[in-house]
Every structure is written in structure tokens, then in C-alpha cells.
């Protein structure tokens, strides 16, 4: 069949062998040993001289960035090899575009003869097997695409079950020593994670936390994992504010498995694209949490509050909380120091600052200290009024009534669960009766539709009740707790201020409007 090798002494042969995990599913005939035996038998029969054997074991055919394949290409460039032999075309590659490139362009340009034994392909002779080579390459590519879909489906299923399928767990965790796809707390670096959250809770910015860790020489997550070995550059091995911010908002520390944040463009590319948050796969309570839920939520509010400000120079209590009432954009802060030289901060409208000549908005210029003191005074006034016993009495009565309603709801929910389970059991029994012939098909359809309709009605009612179910800690209790903490802290805690206030708006005539996070406080203000 391979026939026209009239001058074997003119060739320096490269035997190329490739095996990947998906190829192993096709059977032992694809093994490295089998390929090697077949190729050696061919060269012996045709008295060919083998320059070297190139083996890529465990490498996918969709990528041509394989160690020994690239070594073979280097030897072709150095004119040490002028014939390449593989068992079949899929050993060369499964990407039909790149496979065609090497067969139709690269090998001919380099005067390299290519032979695929089982496919009957030989670029050194004219044959019909060569003509259908592009179609063989496409079929190999389709096989790789099908395998990729199956692997992706299996991985997605594991993600939905809360199993960890990544390479390295989130900093602060490590792989379970015995259980596969499960993570546990890494006690060696867990204190660093807890300290980062504690510093954030104290009001430190992400940039300042990163600077503190760098000053103390704390190894970064990449350095701890060994990923920074040999890496050079001014920022290699340093903490960044982006890394700190990502950690502070990662629900993995709450005990939730968060995966699917990036997705590969295709099975042919290693490049990944970031996914929108709604497309992430989040499974709750899959492992031991490092941070309690209350701390995590407080820190998230603090981090989010800073997204509304671009200032990295000045720190002030209302940072990220103050907005222009007219245009809705965050207020900018300027430093206009007096002759003495100390900082004197002023709020100005950022829209006016950027588009002064357009007259889109007005200046709103006012001292930062004046606004801060006014906001604190107003918050204190609202807090003291909220804790007035006379005003607390109707709130308490309302809370008791809600608790009574919650108990009633709970009993009704349990009753609905029982009824739904009973109807489901009846449906199962009817189905078995139909299979055994005890229940006629017509009777089954009639009863089945009626019972199914009843069950659907109960499920809708159950869903409505569960949505109305109040959380164990009422908003009134939470508001009262934060109010008392605020009054006791001499109103200097940014954490408490962010917990109480959603935003502060400054009007053109210097009026201050405070938007509280709790409707109970909003009503008093």
C-alpha cells in the first residue's frame, strides 16, 4: 500500500506518537506501545532510517502546543527530519484547521513527506486517499468536539452538586486529604484570611490592607501555592487591592462552593471569558466556613460603599455614601488647604466638575466637615427618637403580632407538606396499579389529571406561604441593635454608619437628605 519509497536512504524519519485520555476510551490499540510497534515495523520493511521518535503522552489533539511535537518541528526547521510518519491522521491532530495547515502548507514548504499508515495517506505520491484527507480531518475534529461536550457536561454536573473541580482551592482552603472533590480549611493560612476580614471590618481600604501585608512580608496566594516561582517583574509576589477586594466578596469563605466564574471560548482555545454573576454555579453549605455570615455581609457593604468614589488620597467618614441630589452622581472631594497647610476637604458635584461649561449641574460646594457633623447629628436624633419607649411600644406590639402569624404560617406549611407528600404517594401507587393492570388506562388518566391539579394548587400555596415567612431576626430588632451600637460608639464607626445609611444626598441649596437602610428609621426621619 505504501509503496513508492524508492530511495529510502534519502529520508530521515520522525516517528510521531500521541495519546490523550479521551483516546484511551477507544481501546488498547491506541496505546503508545502499539503505535510504536506499528511504526517500527513499517520503517523496517521499507529500510528507512529513523532520526528520532517523538511521543506526547497525555496531550489532546486539539492543541498543537505539545512538547515533543514542537521538538519535532524544531528538528524539521533544522533540516534534520524530512519525513513524518504517524499511525493515523488523528495522531497528528484533531483540529482540522491546523492539521490542514501542516499537511497542505507547512510540510510541502519544508519538503517533508508525511505518511499516515492506517489512513493510506502519503504526500509523496498521488492517490485518492490524499484527496479525502480534509474530510478525515473534519471527522477527527468533530470527534474532539463531541468528547469536549461530554467532559463539559460531566464537570457542570459536578459543579451543581457542589463538588470542587478546580486546580487549586481558594486561598485559605486545601483539598481534602481523603475525599475527592472536597475542600477543607487550610489552618496554615486561615489566620491570614480572618485577619484580612478583620482589617476590612475596622474600616481599612483594600489598598491599605494590601500595603500592610506587603510591608509585613506575608506571602501572596500565588506565592504560597508556588505559582510565582521564577516569575519576574515589579509586582511579582505582592498583594494587590484587586486581590483583597475579590477575597472579601468571595462566598467560598461562607461555606458556599462558587464555580463557573469563567468559561473557555471553545475546546480549541485556552482563553477564558469572565461570566456574569447570574451565570455562576453557587451551592450553599458544601464545606466549613472561614467567616461568619454577619461579618461577611458587613464587609461586603463596606467594600461596595467605596465603589462610588474615585478618591484614593483622602479618607473621610462619608466616603462612597454621599451623592448629588440633582444629578444623582457621587460627590467628588477636593482639598483646599489654608495658609497653615492642614487638609480642608470640600464636596463638589462631580458632574459640574467635569462639565462646568455645559451647565449640566451646579457646584454644590460645601465643607466635608460641615456635612459629616450634620449627618451624624441627624442620625443621632433619629436614633434617639427611635429608642423612645413610647414609640417602641407599637413596634413591639407589631413584632409580637408578626411572631404569632409566623407560628400560624409554620403550622400551615407543615400541613401543606404532608398533603403534597400524600398526593405524591397516591400518584405513585396509581402508576403501579396501571402497570400491573389493576387500573384501566382511561381511569388512570382521569384520576391522574385531577390529583396532579390538586397537588399543583397546594404547591403554589406552599410557595406563597414560604415567601411570606419572616426571618428569625426581624428588621426591627436588627435596626434597634444597630441604633444602640451607633449611640454607644460616639458615632465614629464607619462600619455602623454604612450599616445604617444607604446614601446621603446633598441638594443645590445645601440641604442634606439621608436614606436609611431600615424603613423604621426612614419613617422617623
Report the candidate in 4, 49, 68, 58 with the shortest Cα–Cα distance to residue 31.
Answer: 58
Residue 54 has pLDDT above 90, yes or no: yes
Q: What is the DSSP letter of 330?
A: B
What residue ranges in 249-369 does DSSP mark as E strands?
257-259, 262-264, 272-274, 281-283, 322-324, 331-335, 345-349, 366-367
What's the fold here for domain 173-228+236-304? Hect, E3 ligase catalytic domain fold (3.90.1750)
d(CA 329, CA 326): 8
CATH superfamily of 8-147: Resolvase, N-terminal catalytic domain (3.40.50.1390)
Full 3-state SS string of 355-398: CCCCCCCCCCCEEHHHHHHHHHHHHHHHHHHHCCHHHHHHHHHH
- pLDDT of 450: 80
Q: Is 79 helix (H, G, I), strand (E, B) or coil?
A: coil
Residue 73 has pLDDT above 80, yes or no: yes
Least confident of 61-70, 473-482, 516-525: 473-482
Higher-pLDDT residue of 202, 156: 202
Per residue in 415-464, pLDDT (tens digit) is 778 788 888 877 777 777 777 777 777 777 778 778 778 888 888 777 77
Percent of the chain residues past pLDDT 90, beyond the cut: 10
DSSP bridge partners of 512: 506
Q: What is the mean pLDDT of residues 298-323?
A: 70
What are the structural domain ranges in the chain? 8-147, 173-228+236-304, 310-525
Measured CA distances, 218 to 169, 185, 286, 404, 510 (Å): 19, 18, 28, 52, 46
- pLDDT of 112: 92
Per residue in 225-253, pLDDT (tens digit) is 877 655 565 566 788 888 888 888 888 89
Least confident of 22-26, 354-358, 521-525: 22-26
- pLDDT of 51: 94
pLDDT band at 302 (very low <50, low <70, confident <90, very high): confident
d(CA 372, CA 380): 12
In this prediction the pTM is 0.45
Contacts of residue 89, defined as CB under 8 A and 6 or more positions apart, other chains included, come to 99, 116, 119, 121, 133, 136, 137, 140
For helices 441-468 and 389-436, give the axis angle rounded to 10 degrees. Answer: 170
Least confident of 50-54, 132-136, 307-311, 521-525: 307-311
Higher-pLDDT residue of 190, 130: 190
Instruction: Give Cα 81 to chain centroid, integer Å.
Output: 46
Amino acid at each position: 500500500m505504501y509503496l513508492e519509497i524508492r530511495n529510502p536512504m534519502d529520508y530521515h524519519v520522525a516517528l510521531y506518537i500521541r495519546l490523550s485520555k479521551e483516546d484511551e476510551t477507544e481501546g488498547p490499540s491506541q496505546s503508545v506501545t502499539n503505535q510504536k510497534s506499528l511504526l517500527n515495523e513499517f520503517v523496517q520493511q521499507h529500510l528507512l532510517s529513523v532520526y528520532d521518535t517523538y511521543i506526547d503522552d497525555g496531550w489532546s489533539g486539539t492543541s498543537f502546543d505539545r512538547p515533543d511535537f514542537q521538538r519535532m518541528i524544531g528538528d524539521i526547521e533544522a533540516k534534520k527530519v524530512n519525513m513524518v510518519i504517524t499511525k493515523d491522521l488523528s495522531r497528528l491532530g484533531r483540529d482540522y484547521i491546523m492539521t490542514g495547515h501542516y499537511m497542505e502548507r507547512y510540510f510541502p514548504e519544508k519538503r517533508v513527506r508525511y505518511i499516515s499508515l492506517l489512513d493510506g495517506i502519503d504526500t509523496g505520491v498521488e492517490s485518492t486517499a490524499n484527496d479525502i484527507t480534509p474530510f478525515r480531518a473534519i471527522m477527527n475534529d468533530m470527534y474532539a468536539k463531541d468528547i469536549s461536550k461530554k467532559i463539559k457536561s460531566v464537570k457542570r454536573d459536578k459543579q451543581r452538586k457542589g463538588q470542587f473541580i478546580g486546580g487549586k482551592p481558594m486561598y485559605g482552603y486545601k483539598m481534602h486529604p481523603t475525599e475527592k472533590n472536597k475542600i477543607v480549611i487550610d489552618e496554615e493560612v486561615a489566620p491570614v484570611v480572618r485577619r484580612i476580614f478583620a482589617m476590612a471590618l475596622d474600616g481599612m481600604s483594600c489598598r491599605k490592607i494590601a500595603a500592610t501585608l506587603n510591608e509585613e512580608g506575608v506571602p501572596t496566594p500565588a506565592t504560597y501555592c508556588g505559582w510565582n516561582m521564577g516569575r519576574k517583574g515589579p509586582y511579582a509576589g505582592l498583594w494587590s487591592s484587586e486581590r483583597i477586594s475579590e477575597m472579601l466578596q468571595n462566598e467560598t469563605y461562607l461555606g458556599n462552593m462558587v464555580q463557573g466564574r469563567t468559561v473557555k471560548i471553545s475546546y480549541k482555545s485556552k482563553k477564558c471569558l469572565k461570566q456574569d454573576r447570574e451565570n455562576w454555579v453557587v451551592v450553599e453549605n458544601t464545606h466549613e466556613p472561614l467567616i461568619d455570615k454577619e461579618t461577611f455581609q458587613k464587609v461586603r457593604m463596606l467594600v461596595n460603599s467605596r465603589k462610588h468614589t474615585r478618591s484614593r488620597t483622602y479618607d473621610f467618614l462619608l466616603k462612597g455614601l454621599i451623592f448629588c441630589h440633582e444629578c444623582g452622581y457621587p460627590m467628588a472631594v477636593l482639598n483646599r488647604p489654608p495658609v497653615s497647610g492642614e487638609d480642608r476637604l470640600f464636596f463638589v458635584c462631580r458632574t459640574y466638575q467635569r462639565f462646568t461649561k455645559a451647565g449640566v449641574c451646579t457646584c454644590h460646594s460645601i465643607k466635608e466637615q460641615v456635612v459629616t457633623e450634620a449627618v451624624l447629628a441627624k442620625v443621632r436624633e433619629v436614633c434617639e427618637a427611635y429608642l423612645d419607649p413610647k414609640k417602641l411600644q407599637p413596634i413591639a406590639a407589631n413584632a409580637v403580632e408578626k411572631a404569632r402569624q409566623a407560628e400560624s404560617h409554620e403550622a400551615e406549611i407543615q400541613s401543606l407538606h404532608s398533603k403534597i407528600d400524600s398526593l405524591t404517594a397516591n400518584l405513585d401507587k396509581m402508576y403501579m396499579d396501571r402497570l400491573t393492570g389493576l387500573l384501566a388506562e382511561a381511569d388512570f388518566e382521569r384520576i391522574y389529571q385531577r390529583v396532579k391539579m390538586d397537588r399543583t394548587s397546594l404547591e403554589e400555596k406552599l410557595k406563597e406561604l414560604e415567601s411570606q415567612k419572616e426571618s428569625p431576626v426581624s428588621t426591627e430588632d436588627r435596626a434597634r441593635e444597630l441604633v444602640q451600637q451607633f449611640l454607644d460608639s460616639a458615632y465614629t464607626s464607619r462600619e455602623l454608619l454604612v450599616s445604617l445609611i444607604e446614601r446621603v444626598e446633598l441638594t443645590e441649596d445645601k440641604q442634606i437628605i439621608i436614606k436609611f437602610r431600615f424603613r423604621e428609621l426612614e419613617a422617623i426621619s
